[in-house]
């Protein structure tokens, strides 16, 4: 009976840690205005968050379906409340010499803003 009580205490403590970590991982955020353009570029800036995104996840791309397929890495997206992981995937190049410049999160006075990726030739 003493062993069962010890197991229950450990389980309750672990549950408390999980709940506390969950509460810390999604602090309240505020969406920031409509999309804008980054000065000096054609990149589009989307609404942002009040705190930085989590670290990028490691992804191992499967084999490409064709030589024109290019792996587009996954990224964190802001849904207005929390960050959501968008998995990487293959996309077809618009031309044989096109390369993808990935999007990125940029800290600004109004919060963390997502700058969309774009194709270059």
**Which residue range forms the structural domain that includes residue 63?**
29-120
Distance CA 74, CA 65 (A): 18
pLDDT in tens, the chain (121 residues): 555 445 445 443 443 433 333 333 333 333 333 333 334 444 556 668 999 999 999 999 999 999 889 999 999 999 999 999 999 999 999 998 999 999 999 999 999 999 999 999 8
Q: Please report the DSSP string for 3-49 in residue order.
A: HHHHHHHHHHHHHHHHHHHHHHHS-------S-EE-TTS-PEEEEEE
Domain membership flag for residue 14: no
Domain membership flag for residue 13: no
Distance CA 74, CA 91 (A): 12
Domain membership flag for residue 23: no
Domain membership flag for residue 46: yes
């Amino acid at each position: 009976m003493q062993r069962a009580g010890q197991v229950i205490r450990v389980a309750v403590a672990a549950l408390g840690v999980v709940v506390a970590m969950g509460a810390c991982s999604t602090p309240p955020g505020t969406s920031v205005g409509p999309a804008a353009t980054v000065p000096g570029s054609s990149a589009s800036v989307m609404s942002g968050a009040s705190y930085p995104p989590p670290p990028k996840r490691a992804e191992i791309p499967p084999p490409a379906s064709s030589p024109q397929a290019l792996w587009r890495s996954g990224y964190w997206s802001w849904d207005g409340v929390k960050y959501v992981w968008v998995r990487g995937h293959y996309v077809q190049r618009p031309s044989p010499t096109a390369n993808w410049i990935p999007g990125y999160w940029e800290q600004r006075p109004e919060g963390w803003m997502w700058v969309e990726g774009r194709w270059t030739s």
